[in-house]
Amino acid sequence: MAMEPDDTPILVDGRILHGGGVGMPFRSPAIQFGVGLYESFSIRGLRAPQFAWHMERLAGAAAEWGLDFQPRLFSEPLIRSLAATGDAAAAWRVRLNLLARDDQGACIHQGHLTPLDWEEEQRRLRGVRLVSIPDDRGPRARRAKTIAMMERWRLGRFRAPADEHYLWVDERGQARDSLTGNLMMLRDGVIVTPPVGDILPGVVRRWVMECSGFAGGVIERPITVEELQHAGEVWLTGSVTGFIPVREVNGAAIPSHGQTALVLREQWLQSFASLAEG
């Protein structure tokens, strides 16, 4: 798996490299079968959102998939590479890949840092449209960010217009989550989100539930697509943009999209901490 041919920092097993040229053996499970996991988030002004939670989630998924995860091979070079940029105000999009090197669980710890795309972020903050698709993932794949799923998107399986995002829906018509992030809606002043088990245990989702102190409270329960179409507000949560307002679900407009989500996003941005603090 080749890296981007530019001069942004590339992390490989604790080393900091530049300029591409890092690859994987062709016969590795990561290349042949997409066996691997990843985490993605933004760093703004040398501060990150709940970095320790990302490492905790990756550790749990790695154990379930039988991958040998060593957190220090991500955290230490990431801190060094950010310090080396010399720009304390820069904003980065970070992707950390845990790639299977062989069928014994050995892994390559690989990371990409690219400048945050402000135009893309602003487009998302103006609201997106959700379109439901059948959830064909297995139970284990629903609970983790997998390289196989990222490759399916890259190869075009889930490509769509910039403001259109796919929503996984099960055979009962219940919404799960999106390739972009977890799902939340506002109903009668209460935030509602699908229960963990068949969805990704999102970091921003966890922050909303444990740290936001939302006045109306947050509950977990199944949500149907029809219910989403009549919700007061709907949004997605993910650790790059944070909160993405939804303005339409399967063609049905959400009139007051963005109000609560953007308020929560400002609160979430204030929660960023240095990587050393987690």
pLDDT tens-digit readout, 90-142: 899 999 999 887 777 788 898 888 899 999 999 999 999 999 999 988 888 89
In a domain, 1, yes or no: no
| pLDDT more than 70, % of the chain | 86
Q: Is the pLDDT of residue 30 over 60?
A: no
- Looking at the domain assignment, is residue 2 inside a domain? no
Q: Please say which residue of 116, 141, 165 terminates a domain.
A: 116
Residue 70 lies inside a defined structural domain of this protein: yes
Q: What is the pLDDT of residue 3?
A: 36
Question: Would you say residue 3 lies in a domain?
Answer: no
- In this prediction, residue 1 has a pLDDT band, given cuts at 50, 70 and 90, of very low
Parent domain of 40: 9-116
If asked whether residues 134 and 152 sit together in one domain, one would say yes
Write the DSSP symbol of residue 27.
Answer: T
Using DSSP's 3-state secondary structure scheme, residue 123 falls into helix
In a domain, 172, yes or no: yes
> Is residue 6's pLDDT more than 60?
no
Would the pLDDT of 7 be above 70? no
The structural domain count of the chain equals: 2
Give me the CATH number covering residue 69: 3.30.470.10
Report CA dihedral (257, 150, 38, 266) to the nearest 10 degrees. -10
257 and 189 both lie in a single domain: yes
* Position 95 in a domain: yes
- DSSP symbol at 195: P
Last residue in a domain, options 116, 135, 155: 116
What pTM was estimated for this model as a whole? 0.88
Q: Of 116, 143, 176, which residue constitutes the final position of a domain?
A: 116
125: domain CATH number is 3.20.10.10
pLDDT band at 31; cut points 50, 70, 90? very low
35/89 same-domain check? yes
CB 234 within 8 A of CB 247: no
Q: Cα–Cα distances in Å, from 171 out to 112, 135, 144, 225? A: 36, 8, 20, 12
Per-residue confidence band for 271, with pLDDT thresholds at 50, 70 and 90: very high
